[in-house]
Amino acid sequence: MYILSDSIGETGEMLVKAAASQFDAGHIDMRRVPYLISTRQVEEALLEAHEAHAIVVYTLVRPDLTAFLEEKAHDLGLTTVDVMGPMVKAINQVAHTKPKNQPGLLRKIDEEYFNKIEALEFAVKFDDGKEPRGLLRADIVITGVSRTSKTPLCIYLAHQGLKAANMPLVPEVPPPQELFQVSPRKVVGLTIKPALLFEIRKERLKAMGLAQTADYANYERILEELEYADRIMRRIGCPVIDVTNKATEETAAKVLEFYRKGKGEDR
């Protein structure tokens, strides 16, 4: 079996294996010929298949290469199987939408999916200051006081494929040195109006069944935390976003703006 493709040929190989499993034919030799981009390459592959008396399975999406292959295979008397063509034509007829005819799109989609999964796992692993060494591996580091939506923001950024870690700032706990070793272009600080944070923390304590007289929801304590966080952020030299009354999506859009700008400056 010769598997010809303008991508890696994985789809064609899976089909061959599935079909071959229906026969007691013993071992079937398969040879992938991937990344075909010219008629010359297609012709060379077909000549090899002809010499080997092979069946040709192909997953070409470029119409010019497909037409050439079919004509040349017919001249050589080769048995061929078009894996992609019939399905693409069927979708085109029903959806009335032209195909992109771009090789490797499925693999690209798969890669994007697995990148998101990896980023989500990263956000969970390095949430709330866990394992500070992870800060150095992050695409973006979010820092700020408690209840400024650092975790939801990191999860949202993970869905965009970014590895985001977050580090809470607490006056009694010095930040790890890793926070100052990260490029300021990769760090974004979050701040919030004291009055809103006061209300958020009171509701948090209420939901947890705890007394609302705790320092966590003490207004003076909140002012102290925000001032401390502001000093740390100025020391880092990172941009700061006021998340007061902002949706996570709105904050994320601003973070992504900083991230892309930082990447551009690094070039």
For range 234-244, the mean pLDDT: 97
Read off the pLDDT band of 147 (50, 70, 90). very high
Per-residue pLDDT, 190:
98
Looking at residue 267, its pLDDT comes to 57
Residue 88 pLDDT grade (very low, low, confident, very high; cuts 50, 70, 90): confident
Q: So what's the pLDDT on residue 142?
A: 98
Residue 159 CA from chain centroid, whole number: 7
What is the distance between the alpha carbons of residues 190 and 213, in angstroms, rounded to a whole number? 25
Which residue segments constitute the domains of the chain, with CATH numbers given?
A: 2-103 (3.40.50), 107-266 (3.40.50)
pLDDT of residue 175: 95
Contact by Cβ (8 Å): 241, 249? no
- DSSP letters, the chain, are -EEEESS--HHHHHHHHHHHTTS-------EEE----SHHHHHHHHHHHHHTT--EEEE---HHHHHHHHHHHHHHT--EEESSHHHHHHHHHHH-------TTHHHHHHHHHHHHHHHHHHHHHTGGG-SGGGGGG-SEEEEESTTSSHHHHHHHHHHTT--EEEEE-BTTBPPPTHHHHS-GGGEEEEE--HHHHHHHHHHHHHHTT--TTSGGG-HHHHHHHHHHHHHHHHHHT--EEE-TT--HHHHHHHHHHHHHHHHHHH-
Whether the predicted pLDDT of 107 surpasses 90: no
Check: CB of residue 30 under 8 Å from CB of residue 6.
no
Q: What are phi and psi of 239, to 5 degrees?
A: -70, 155
Average confidence score pLDDT of the chain: 89
34 half-sphere exposure, CB direction, 13 A CA radius: 10
Kind of pairing, strands 240-242 and 164-168?
unpaired
- Confidence band (pLDDT; 50, 70, 90) for 95? confident
Mean pLDDT score, 218-245: 97
For position 26, what pLDDT does the model report? 66
Q: Which of 81-85, 166-170, 260-264 has the lowest mean pLDDT?
A: 260-264
Burial class (CB in 10 A: 0-12, 13-18, 19+), 220: exposed
pLDDT at 207: 86
The pLDDT of residue 18: 87
Residue 196: what pLDDT?
96
**pLDDT at 140 exceeding the cut of 80:** yes
Over residues 19-25, mean pLDDT: 80
- The pTM assigned to this predicted structure is 0.62
pLDDT of residue 211: 77
pLDDT of residue 178: 96
What is the arithmetic mean of pLDDT over 90-108?
Answer: 69
Give the integer Cα–Cα distance in Å for 234 and 264. 22
101 vs 31, residue with greater confidence: 31
- Indicate whether 214 pLDDT > 60: yes
Question: pLDDT, tens digit, for every residue of 32-82?
Answer: 998 888 999 999 999 999 999 999 999 888 888 999 999 999 999 999 999
